[in-house]
Structure formats: C-alpha cells, structure tokens
Amino acid sequence: MANPSTHLSRSVSRVVAGKAASDGAGVKLNRIIGQRDFDMLDPFLLLDEFRSDQAGDYLAGFPDHPHRGFETVTYMLAGRMRHADNQGNSGLLTPGSVQWMTAGRGIVHSEMPEQEDGLMWGFQLWVNLPASDKMTAPRYQDIAAQSIPSIEPAAGVSPRVIAGRFGDAVSPVHGIATEPVYLDLSLDAGTSIDLPLAQGHNAFAYIYDGSATIGPLAQSRTIARGELAVLAAGDHVHVGAVAESARLILVAGRPLGEPVARHGPFVMNTPEQIVETIRDYQTGRF
Ligand code: FE2
C-alpha cells in the first residue's frame, strides 16, 4: 500500500489577519504572528510587516533594546535601515537585502531608519533557537540583495531564495538550527507553481501584494493581501495567482517542540531562565 503521506499537497489549515500594532519607539506595523489570537507557529515566534510612506509612522525606529534566546530576520522590500549593536557591529539594510541575526546569549542593538521620507517596507521574523543553542555567541549574516539567488522556474514565476534552497538555487544563509526555507515569491496573473516543503516542518504563506490561491485544486483557498495562511501537513504546496498578480513570503521550519517562556525580547525555555536573563541584562552582562 502506498504511504498516504508521500506526495501530499499542503492545504490551508487556517487564515490569520494581522493586527495593527506599535513597537520600538512608536513604529506602526502589522503584527501577524505573535499577537493574542496567533501567538506562535513553532519555531516562528513573531512576524511583523512594516509598510508606510508616512515618515511619522517609522522615523522613531527601534532604539537600543536587548534580545536573547532566538534569531531575528529582517528582510527589506523598500527603504534603508541602519543597525548597530553594543559589540561594535553595524550595517545598513537596503532594499532586497536580509539580515539574519542569531541573538544567542544576548545583544543590545538599535534598528533605525536611514531616511527621512519615502516608503519603508519590509518584514521582521523571529525564529526560535533550540535550548542547546540559546546561549550561543551572537552571530550576524548580512546578505546583500545581489547575493540572494533569484530564479525563474516557470514563466512569470520568480522566487528569491532568502533561506534554504529551491532546486539548484541555494541561499548563502547557513547554519540555522531549524533548517528554514524563506522564499519571496512573485507570481504574474495566470501562473502557478508547486513548491517542495519538508514533511513535518511548519509552514506559512503571507500575502503582501495582490492575492494568491493556495492548496490542492479541490480545496484551494484565495488569500488576500495582509493575510497569512497556515499550511497543513504535506511535502509540497501549490500556489497560484488567478485574476491578479501575487507577491508573498513562504516560510517553513523544523518545529522545536520545546517549552517556550517569553518575556518581550527574551525567549527562553523556563520562567527561571527569564528571571536570570532580566538580571543579566540589568547588570550589564549582555
Ligand atoms: Fe531588535
């Protein structure tokens, strides 16, 4: 008998709409993962989309703040953001670039817009670290736009491979514990594609422009801009653009299945570790 779990197309198990939120020193954003109705999708702890051409929505930025126990992934679509930390690292995020920061045992950093007007648009994703890596040394992977592989597996379909691989295109981001795939996918109207996704990995698609049809033909659902589709089990997903073009991020990763103790920018496994983390931060040990 054939194994029913092979060649299973992932359907949409849930659709989540983002909630307007404010973070940092007053940056307006859309919080999709990490809100009351959808607190996480193991190993993903948070997904924010920031998109505004009103300087007052983003100028205040994210002044000095700490992180411990997970990774922050910033992917820019438009605008420029400067990051700097307490260990002397700094860099400029420009359109199409990604910063994969493994906070590990702790950093204090700022993320500030380097523009006074114009569109600022991008995402920040938080990816959990396994218990064994939470106190690892901090590490940055700053990937310039031109170093992110972009391919055209079918006419009108162009994924950028921000993490993981798609066919022969492999992202330069490496050594991530949860083996993530992160694609920025652009589909012209009337096109579709099947994307492989590891069995057992949790996955979601977030539509940031247009609308997309997701899932096997008989059960496909149309997902609109600003909505996130959680994908059910399977080894691939069918994504299409029907009446209009679609732009989306498709993200998958290995769930950790470990306890999560969370307090603002600290994500550990137990409440005791959170108490210790706050003490370490307050006594300048980051
Ligand atoms: Fe941060």
Distance in Å, CA 83 to ligand 1 centroid: 9
- What pLDDT sits at residue 89? 92
Q: Computed from CA positions of residues 32, 35, 37, 38, in that sequence, does the dihedral angle turn out positive or negative?
A: positive
Distance in Å, CA 6 to ligand 1 centroid: 39
Distance in Å, CA 154 to ligand 1 centroid: 37
Distance in Å, CA 205 to ligand 1 centroid: 23
Distance in Å, CA 73 to ligand 1 centroid: 9
What does the pLDDT look like over 232-281, one tens digit per residue? Answer: 999 999 999 999 999 999 999 999 999 999 999 999 999 999 999 999 99
The domain segmentation of the chain, as residue ranges, is 14-259
Distance in Å, CA 66 to ligand 1 centroid: 7
Distance in Å, CA 94 to ligand 1 centroid: 17
Distance in Å, CA 177 to ligand 1 centroid: 20
3-state secondary structure of 60: coil
CA 105 – CA 126 distance, rounded (Å): 15
Distance in Å, CA 61 to ligand 1 centroid: 10
Distance in Å, CA 280 to ligand 1 centroid: 18
Distance in Å, CA 74 to ligand 1 centroid: 9
- What pLDDT sits at residue 86? 94
Distance in Å, CA 67 to ligand 1 centroid: 7
Distance in Å, CA 265 to ligand 1 centroid: 8
14-259 belongs to which homologous superfamily? Jelly Rolls (2.60.120.10)
CA 163 – CA 251 distance, rounded (Å): 9
- Asked if 72 and 124 touch (Cβ cutoff 8 Å), the reply is yes
Between vectors from CA 58 to CA 77 and to CA 47, what angle results, nearest 5°? Answer: 55
Here the tokens at position 199 are 């069995």
Distance in Å, CA 105 to ligand 1 centroid: 14
Q: What is the pLDDT along the chain (286 residues), one digit of tens a residue?
A: 445 546 899 999 999 999 999 999 999 999 999 999 999 999 999 999 999 999 999 999 999 999 999 999 999 999 999 999 999 999 999 999 999 999 999 999 999 999 999 999 999 999 999 999 999 999 999 999 999 999 999 999 999 999 999 999 999 999 999 999 999 999 999 999 999 999 999 999 999 999 999 999 899 999 999 999 999 999 999 999 999 999 999 999 999 999 999 999 999 999 999 999 999 999 999 9
- Asked if 29 and 35 touch (Cβ cutoff 8 Å), the reply is no
Name, in order, each residue with C-beta under 8 angstroms of 114's C-beta and a sequence gap of 6 or more: 80, 81, 82, 92
Distance in Å, CA 120 to ligand 1 centroid: 17
CA 12 – CA 209 distance, rounded (Å): 18
Distance in Å, CA 138 to ligand 1 centroid: 13
- What pLDDT sits at residue 6? 65
Separation of first and last alpha carbons in the chain: 56
